A and B are shown apart, each in its own frame.
Chain A
Amino acid sequence: MSTRSGLDPHAGSSRTASSPGTRRVDFGRRVLVLRRRKVAVRLDWRAVIVCAVLALAIACMAVLALMTGSYQLSPGEVISALTGGTTGLAHDIVVEWRLPRVAAALVFGAALGVSGAVFQSTMRNPLADPYIIGFSQGSYTGALIVILLVNGTYWQLAGGALIGGTAAAVAVYLLAYQRGVQGFRLIVVGIGISAMLGSLNTWLILKADLDKAMAAAAWGAGSLNGVSSAQVTFGAACVAVLLVLAGMSSRQMRQLELGDDAAAAQGVRVSATRLRLIVLGVALTATVTAVSGPIAFISLLAPQIGRRLTRAAGITLAPAALVGALLCLTADYIAQHIAPTPLPVGIITVMLGGGYLGWLLITEARRHL
């Protein structure tokens, strides 16, 4: 390794010989620079291509999911139904029956991917995830209380899950707070609170009647069965707003990855930014959970897969969103059509996540042993 000996004593004062404007920074990777009027952005070519391929894969997967069912359709029929070309049965099947579920998988998958990305970036830990820090068990507790004690309607169930999850997340945040919040402490406190709520949940289910317990267990697995178009529209609107807000915070998020002091020295308001990002991450997950129950592991997997595909430095939002959408869509397709009996999508994502964790343990062990 060549460490250049000493410095030219006048290195600092001498102006570079080459004329400015012609030289370009070597980023070690191809970049796409767009400068027009007030806009000046730099994109990574590889990330652009990866995102385009992912978008294409999502489109194909969505068409496949809209085709498949007890009444098979051709890709052409699906597309003409979507574009309003056909009416009648094909239109009803695609738009009325299958589209809400496909749209839900897509939007919620993207939401979970971004939620995980925000958490992993702010905690600087690839295992950080809104479910790991207590949201999942908290929302389950909330839902259980609604199902078992109130026997509530769907919207009461969603509200219960939302309140339970948010309460758990706030409790974790406050317990981990000590002159600001550090990632590691938040994760450890989150795991502790999750374990406590998990045993509470088990106790609640054991005390319940069989049919209620079964309903609760089905909800707890996370499913897109019977998601109505009203629910999807509401969920998608919330997710859209939250994704825009997350996108607007992405530059601050990227600076925070350099460490609190470096970020603060560059003009990032560290505590406020971190709190905003955590709230956005929890809100995204909360929206999904309220509609479909907790769909585990997509938020954990999507950012890491996205990062490996783009080979980006740190966590980026767009690939995480697209990988999340593709994962959720695929997992729901498998759950509906490939599994021997239709399953909740959450079961499939748990299996994916288990595989990922196993792989992570093996590679990390290889690296460190």
Chain B
Amino acid sequence: MSTHTSAVDDLSAAGDASRSTPSPSGSRLHVESATLGYDKRVISRELSVEIPDESFTVIVGPNACGKSTLLRGLSRLLKPSAGQVVLDGADINSFKTKEVARRVGLLPQSSIAPEGITVGDLVARGRYPHQGFIRQWTEADEQAVLRAMDQTSVTELSGRLVDELSGGQRQRVWVAMALAQHTSIMLLDEPTTFLDITHQIELMELFTDLHHVGHTLVAVLHDLNHAARYATHLIAMKDGRVVAEGSPAEIVTADLVQEVFGLRCLVVPDPVAGTPSVVPLGRERPPAAPKTETT
């Protein structure tokens, strides 16, 4: 595929011809009654999920509910043993791997920064699906990398070693690498897991910005309140099934949280964003009877 200097342009001009061939269902990426699992162990059976175009979709659910497995399916890392994952109207496994990589990007749960690599070099590696044996570093590559670093505010770190960065900075560099790949759909596998609260929020705001410039984002998150605040579309999963999906305001209720997580809670409006906010009730205890003896 030829890459032009259009790399700096909006995603709508990203050159994926895919956009002109929307799938009948109106979603570029969806799962059609797929069976997902590892070896003989089935995680999800007959799973059907649609990722609404230009949404910020967040998948939540308890551990081992199949949310990461679903993301691996969507990114083609995992091939369904039955059913299919459809990208732009065709089975995702019918594409060449590089073609998928030009349409769908992924921020994996863990990646490895080679020893001694600088930020600029690492972000530049995200250009791989656009490069060829003799076209390894075009002007379009250069501009896409600069733009990805601008968007994630890591431009000033460009010449630094990745090993020297803080956890929050490093995660932004990985996001920049995924952005340099220049795909309009981006999948994020627990992107905030190992960060402190400040960097978690910083990253969620960054994702919101990316969503606003036209990316379709699909994230697996642990934090229900982050999910409810930032997602435009929420998918709640349990035991490999989708229990509920819709906008957070519609679906986040105390009953749903009880059903999905087995957690008794109150759902109150987030005082800042107005989105639903989950407050766990915990064990019932008398409000003003603190125990004095040591535990």
Binding site for B on A (CB under 8 A): 1, 3-4, 6-13, 15-16, 20-21, 23-29, 33, 35, 38-42, 124, 179, 248, 251, 254-255, 257-259, 261-262, 264-269, 307, 311-314
Contact = CB atoms under 8 A, between A and B. Distances in A.
B112 A259 contact: yes
A267 B108 contact: no
B168 A3 contact: yes
Q: Which 9 A-B pairs have the closest CB atoms?
A: A12-B209, A28-B159, A267-B101, A313-B117, A265-B106, A314-B114, A261-B108, A267-B98, A42-B137
B73 to A, nearest CB: 13
Contact of A261 (B104, B109, B121): B109
Residue of A16, A266, A268 with most partner-chain B CB within 10 A: A266
A254 B127 CA distance: 12
Contacts of A265: 75, 77, 101, 104-106, 108, 178, 181, 187
By secondary structure, the A interface counts as loop
Contacts of B77: 261, 264-265
Nearest to A19: B8
A259 B111 contact: yes
Contacts of A12: 151, 206, 209-210, 212-213
Residue of B5, B119, B146, B212 with most partner-chain A CB within 10 A: B146
Contact of A7 (B117, B123, B137, B153): B153
A269 B95 CA distance: 12
A38 B136 contact: no
Given A10-B209, A11-B151, A27-B158, A40 B135 contact: yes
B97 interface: yes
Interface string B162-190: 00001011000000011001000001000
Nearest to A34: B137
B128 interface: yes
A349 B264 CA distance: 68
Contacts, number: 171
Interface string B86-120: 00000000001111111011101111111111111
A86 B136 CA distance: 45
B139 A27 contact: no
B272 interface: no
B151 A261 contact: no
A46 B18 CA distance: 41
15 contacts: A3-B168, A8-B153, A11-B151, A11-B153, A13-B212, A16-B147, A20-B143, A27-B121, A39-B134, A40-B137, A41-B134, A261-B77, A261-B111, A265-B108, A307-B116
A352 to B, nearest CB: 23
A38 B166 contact: no
Nearest to A126: B115
A33 B142 CA distance: 11
A34 to B, nearest CB: 9
B138 interface: yes
